[in-house]
Structure 1
Amino acid sequence: MLISGTAGGQGRAAAKLFAQEGATVVGCDIKAAENDETARMIAEAGGTMNALTLDVTDLVQARQWIDYAVSRYGGIDVLYNNAALERFAPFAEMSADDWHYAQRHEQDVVFFPTQAAWSHLIARGGGSVINTGSVSGMRGSERIGSIGHAAGKGAVIAMTKQLALEGAPHNIRVNAISPGPIDTPVTAAGLAADPNFRLTYEGWPLLHRTGKPDDVAYCALWLASDESGFITGINVPVDGGWSAKGGLTAKSGDLVGLQATTAS
């Protein structure tokens, strides 16, 4: 199976889980050292991962990744489009460069690898494609200046439905996972820099905890398996219930009080 963005966070968690379950993982990332570290961790646990350093926003490199897996292992069963990068700014302040960066790193990272893998999945007799959306692509989000991220992930969710339709005659299932608040190295820096945003972020889920990368990885494992064999074209929010409600779980007054307590 192929997983993009395996240098850390949700991609690393998925690579470790799939390898633990017996899959041969072909992972890729632009961060060579961190990606090699994921492969080392998996090897030490008795699993197999090939770590490629490449950028799937580039069509040629995306094809190289797919072709490597096919030539080495004879085909593809599962493609997990996990990789993405974001830039955040309020709508009125977002530059054209940041807008285009967001769309390239949210949409192209799904389009290019999937298109490169499509003929191989057909030749294989089908398979499972898993795309990473976001709850930001489902509804508006407070504070984070999410217009670029929302547009990119909303497009991924829409692409998933269209790909499911076009893949069905070939037994290719295509589904999306939309994470909510998840603790990763990427989110950690933003949360540390803005205590008020941390209060907002941690107030989103119904379950009163922030998600972990493994929460997302277990959903991906299910979507890749035969246990979900009659499921295609869906978007699964892994968000602790955030998309089932409006506003924050905590009241604004509670947040102010909690912020004061945290600061003291």
Structure 2
Amino acid sequence: MSKSTNNAFSRGPVAGRLDGKIAVVTGAGGGQGQAAALLFAKAGAIVIASDLNPKGVDDTRAIAREGSLPIHMTAVDAADEAAVSRWLDDAAEEHGGLDILYNNAAHTHFAPFGEMSLHQWRETMRLELDIVFIPTRAIWRHLVARGGGSIINIASVSGMRATEFLGGAAHATGKSGVIGFTRQIALEGAPHWIRANSISPGPIVTPVTEAILASSAEFAHNFNGWPLLARTGRAIDVAYAGLYFASDESSFVTGVNLPIDGGWAAKGGHTAH
């Protein structure tokens, strides 16, 4: 079972922190992307969200409708250049501009390096790098026209350090690339007041990780032992970091990679709690 401490997950006032902002969130059909879309909407943003999975689209729409949250959910493949360009151009025209991009959508293959195929490697690069490049490139001119904005890219602690058990050579490479890409666009965006930051989640419990935790005692042992703090993370922990980067509270913050990992990146070895 994942470590947790009652009432210890990220929380705090959100009302008004994104008033007047138009925020784009990819991969919002569940998990971390859904948490960010909901939190941004609660903070006052109009959220333009997407997911490739039709069920995820329906699920987020239903939650937004139940909470009367301004989330416009669409089925879009964030790795499809033409589809993303149409989607964001239409959104900018409808809402008068765009302010925030939260690049959450991604997919990866895990396998021991000696068993990893070239197909798995290449598909991971497409779905961890192209899927960030394409929405960023599509929104760039809209942020320039807006006079600035915030780009938030979801990387991973796996892009910062090697990870036990996962067989994550492709994942580590893709997420390292996201971190490097973020720093470069922070530099190139600065003259336009476009800020770019990345978030590197560590052991975050999601529907995907829950399934692996339930099926593998070895994975659970490593996953639960990574943080310094005596719990693993939740999607809301990551979403609150995204809210900070999206808001004007971080107007002098750019080029940063922020681990949300309970201290995992700060240590070596296994922590027993």
Same fold by TM-score greater than 0.5: yes
* Residues 1:81 and 2:103 are matched in the alignment: yes
The residue aligned with 1:213 is 235
The residue aligned with 1:124 is 146
Name the CA distance, whole Å, in 1 between partners of 2:206 and 2:90: 29
Name the CA distance, whole Å, in 2 between partners of 1:190 and 1:104: 24
Shift of 1:230: 0.2
The residue aligned with 1:183 is 205
1:146 to 168, 177, 181: 168
Deviates more, 1:150-159 or 1:61-70: 61-70
The residue aligned with 1:257 is none
The residue aligned with 2:9 is none
1:24 to 43, 46, 49: 46
More helix by share: 1
Answer whether contact 1:28 1:65 (CA < 8 A) is retained: no
SS in 2 for 1:219: helix
The residue aligned with 1:166 is 188
When normalised by structure 1's length, the TM-score is 0.93
**In the alignment, residue 179 of structure 2 is paired with which amino acid?**
I
The residue aligned with 1:261 is none
SS in 2 for 1:116: helix
**In the alignment, residue 205 of structure 1 is paired with which amino acid?**
P
When normalised by structure 2's length, the TM-score is 0.90
2:89 to 59, 63, 67: 67
SS in 1 for 2:205: coil
Name the CA distance, whole Å, in 2 between partners of 1:8 and 1:55: 15
**In the alignment, residue 216 of structure 1 is paired with which amino acid?**
V
The residue aligned with 2:253 is 231
Name the CA distance, whole Å, in 1 between partners of 2:42 and 2:228: 30
The residue aligned with 1:53 is 75
User: Per-residue CA shift, 1:114-171, capped at 9, x if unaligned?
Assistant: 0010011000000000000000000100000010000000000000000000000000
Shift of 1:36: 2.0
Shift of 1:37: 1.6
Name the CA distance, whole Å, in 2 between partners of 1:196 and 1:161: 35
Answer whether contact 1:6 1:12 (CA < 8 A) is retained: yes
User: Per-residue CA shift, 1:69-107, capped at 9, x if unaligned?
Assistant: 112111100000011111101111110000011111100
SS in 2 for 1:205: coil
* Residues 1:13 and 2:25 are matched in the alignment: no
Answer whether contact 1:4 1:82 (CA < 8 A) is retained: yes
Answer whether contact 1:131 1:156 (CA < 8 A) is retained: yes
Answer whether contact 1:39 1:48 (CA < 8 A) is retained: no
Structure 2 gap segments, 5+ residues each? 1-22
Name the CA distance, whole Å, in 2 between partners of 1:128 and 1:181: 25
* Aligned residues: CA RMSD: 1.0
